[in-house]
């Protein structure tokens, strides 16, 4: 089944403890992206990647890192999480190399930082 898989679905951690949220897609998509969703703010882009080894900042990149060493994987890294990073995170992929193709979203990761 074609899908975007995120892990974990739920994560509770403490301030400053490094964490990684994994994202993998099996559709051979070029474009991958991370979003955070907060009440009243919609979906805001954190980072995106248009190809392997190419990553760029979105609207809210502060406090996050990503890597794209292979096409299928696009992990989100929080080196030193803070409470303001408590949010619902979505990974997404699309077949195009730009923004003009439908996005396929993962099931989301709900992160709580205490």
Chain contacts with another protein (rule: CB under 8 A): 40-45, 58-59, 90, 98-103, 105-108
Sign of CA dihedral 74, 75, 80, 81: positive
Secondary structure letter of residue 28 according to DSSP: -
Q: Are 25 and 32 in contact (CB under 8 A)?
A: yes
74 or 90, CB closer to another protein?
Answer: 90
Q: Are 113 and 10 in contact (CB under 8 A)?
A: no
42 or 62, CB closer to another protein?
Answer: 42
d(CA 7, CA 43) in angstroms, rounded, equals 19
9 or 17, CB closer to another protein?
Answer: 9
Q: How far is the CB of 22 from another protein (least distance, A)?
A: 16
Q: How far is the CB of 68 from another protein (least distance, A)?
A: 18
Please report where in the chains the tokens 């899908």 appear, as a residue: 3
Q: How far is the CB of 45 from another protein (least distance, A)?
A: 7
């Amino acid at each position: 089944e074609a899908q975007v898989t995120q892990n974990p679905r739920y994560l509770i951690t403490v301030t400053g403890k490094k964490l990684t949220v994994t994202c993998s897609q099996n559709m051979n998509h070029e474009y991958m992206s991370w979003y955070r969703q907060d009440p009243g703010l919609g979906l805001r882009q954190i980072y995106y990647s248009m190809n392997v080894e190419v990553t760029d900042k979105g609207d809210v990149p502060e406090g996050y890192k990503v890597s794209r060493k292979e096409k299928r994987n696009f992990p989100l890294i929080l080196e030193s999480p803070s409470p303001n990073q408590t949010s619902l995170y979505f990974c997404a992929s699309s077949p195009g190399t730009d923004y003009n193709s439908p996005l396929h979203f993962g099931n989301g990761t709900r992160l709580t930082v205490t």
